[in-house]
Homo-oligomer: A and B are copies of this chain.
């Protein structure tokens, strides 16, 4: 089986193929089992909240029958935005691993830095920069194609 970040990268690549910003996410249960895999579906679902992380968290919570993903991990191809970082905190995810850092839109190491706020009641373990080159290449290619659709 692929490692979870490879699965997240595959979901990101599939998202790009649908014209969505290429971001993918995987949620693992406390036992390491894959509970959910999702790619960005903002355009397809007409839903501004349909980031990969939100979709994966919602699907995993359905699997567990609880809004709390105690002991779970989330693996994402891009530093989560403040919306997704807050959802990760509400879901009490144990560990967050992400690939590319996002200086423009991230909310973990940039901008709102959600988990460092005194009003944040749950902070996961955080590992950033895992297989970052692959995630960055996908994003660069996607935005280059948007700017010049002929290329």
Which secondary structure dominates where chain A touches chain B? Answer: loop
Tell me, yes or no, whether A29 is within 8 Å of chain B by CB: no
Residues of B within 8 A of A66 (CB): 46
Q: How many residues of A contact B (CB 8 A)?
A: 42
Give chain B nearest CB distance to A86 CB in angstroms: 4
Q: Kindly identify which residue among B61, B82, B85 contacts A48, using a CB–CB cutoff of 8 Å.
A: B61
Q: Are A64 and B86 in contact (CB under 8 A)?
A: no
Q: B46 and A112: CB pair below 8 A?
A: no
Instruction: Establish whether residues B90 and A48, one from each chain, have CB atoms under 8 Å apart when the complex forms.
Output: yes
Whether a CB of chain B sits under 8 angstroms from the CB of A75 is no
Of residues 97 through 131 on chain A, the ones whose CB sits less than 8 Å from some CB of chain B are 103-107, 110-114, 117-120
A81 sits at the interface (CB 8 A): yes
A54 proximity list for chain B (CB < 8 A): 49
Contact, CB under 8 Å: A65 / B86: no
B119 near A110: Cβ-Cβ < 8 Å: yes
Contact of A83 among B43, B46, B87, B117 (CB under 8 A): B87
**A interface list, Cβ under 8 A from B:** 42-43, 45-50, 54, 57-58, 61-62, 64-69, 81-87, 90-91, 103-107, 110-114, 117-120
